[in-house]
Each structure stands twice: as structure tokens, then as C-alpha cells.
Amino acid sequence: METLLNDFSPGLFAVSTILLLALIALMVKFAWKPILNSLEERESGIEDALAAAENARKEMQNLQSDNERLIKEARAERDEMMKDARNITDNMIAAAKEDAKEVTATLIEKAQASINQEKQAALAEIKKTVAELSIGIAETVIKKELSNKKDQLALVEGILKDVTLN
């Protein structure tokens, strides 16, 4: 213990205290502060980058699911539209058919009506012509054979018979 105390040099203690204080101050100022700051900066940078990558990944996932949803919706919409279009065309065809049927029916009706009319007109004409012809015939017959009363009556009877038979 005595030799230890004897070995202890107060001068060296003072010198090393001053030198060490200077060394600590210089090291802190010129080395440790900038080094630790840069290390922390780098570490936080890495952390931020990792967080950003994670966020980007999540965003991508969201985008992907959005895309899928959109595609599904679009597909559904397309199907709906196709169905609608088909319905519309079917309806249109059906309606057109209906219309055509109606139109033909009316046309036929009209045609029949006009045919009937024509027929009636023709019949009337024929009747009129027949009547005129009959009258003409009757005139001539009358003119020619109206000498005897008996013949006259037989003729009228014969004509009437013919007429009702017609």
C-alpha cells in the first residue's frame, strides 16, 4: 500500500486530468457528435425508408383490390347491358312482328272491304246492265210480240221466272 501511494504521482495526475479533459472535449466536438448524429440520421432514414416501402406495398394491395373490384363491376355492368340489349331487341322484334301482323290484317281487311265494295259495285253495274238489257229486250220483245195478249203474259211470266232464278 505504501509503495502504491509512493508510486502515485500527483503531477502525472494533474497532467493526465488536463489532457484527458481536453481529449474528451475534442473527441466529443469533432468526432462523437458528428458521428452519432450521422448514425442516428442514417438509422432514422432506414426506418423511414422501410415504413415507406411498407406503405407503398399496402397501397399497391389496395390498388390491386380496387382494380379487381372495378373489373368485377365493369363485367357485371357489361352483362347487364348485354341482357338489356337482348331484351330490347327481342321486344323490338316482337313489337315489329305485332305491328306487321296488324298492318297486314288491316291491309287484308281493307282489301277485302274494297273487293266487297268493288263486287257490290260490279253487281250493281251488272244488275243495272241486266236491267237495261232486260228493259231493251223487253222493249223489243214487247214491240215485236205485243200483238197478242196471251204471248205477252207468257213472256212476262218467263222473264220473271228467269229473274228470280238468277
Partner 1 sequence: MRIAYKTVKFLTIVAITLFTAVSFASESDKKHDVQNDGGRVNTKSEVEAYILHHIKDSHDFSLFSYTSDSGERKHVGFPLPVILWSSEGLVTFMSSAFHHNDDGHVIVEKNGLKFAKIHSKIYELDTDAATVSFDETHHATNAHKTLDFSITKSAFGLIVIGLLMLLWFSKLARQYKTKKVPTGFGRVLEPLVLYVRDEIARPNIGEKHYRRFTGYLLTVFFFIWILNLAGLTPLGFNVTGQLAVTGCLAIFTLVIYTVSGTKGYWMHMIWMPGVPMLIRPVLAIIELAGALIIKPFSLLVRLFANISAGHIVVMSLIAIMFTLKESLGVVGATGLSLVLSFFITLIEVLVAFLQAYIFTMLSALFIGMAVDDHAEAH
- What is the Cα–Cα distance from 84 to 78, expressed in whole angstroms? 10
Query: Does residue 14 belong to the site contacting partner 1 (CB under 8 A)?
Result: yes
Query: Does residue 154 belong to the site contacting partner 1 (CB under 8 A)?
Result: no
In terms of CB distance, is 17 or 64 closer to partner 1?
17
Residue type (1 letter), 104: T
Query: Does residue 35 belong to the site contacting partner 1 (CB under 8 A)?
Result: yes
Min dist. Cβ of residue 74 to partner 1 (A):
46
Query: Does residue 78 belong to the site contacting partner 1 (CB under 8 A)?
Result: no
Query: Does residue 32 belong to the site contacting partner 1 (CB under 8 A)?
Result: yes
Residues within window 56-75 making contact with partner 1, judged by CB under 8 A:
none
Sign of CA dihedral 25, 31, 32, 36: positive
**DSSP SS3 for 147:** coil
Min dist. Cβ of residue 54 to partner 1 (A):
21
Size of the site for partner 1 (CB under 8 A): 31
The per-residue b/e assignment along 9-32, b for 16 or more CB within 10 angstroms, e otherwise, is: eeeeeeeeeeeeeeeeeeeeeeee
Nearest to 141 by CA among 118, 165, 157: 157
Min dist. Cβ of residue 3 to partner 1 (A):
9
Can you state the angle between helices 149-165 and 33-145, rounded to 10 degrees? 160
Stretch that binds partner 1, among 8-16, 59-67, 111-119, 151-159 (CB under 8 A): 8-16
Which residues are at the interface with partner 1 (CB under 8 A)? 4, 7-17, 19-20, 22-24, 26-28, 30-36, 38-39, 42, 45
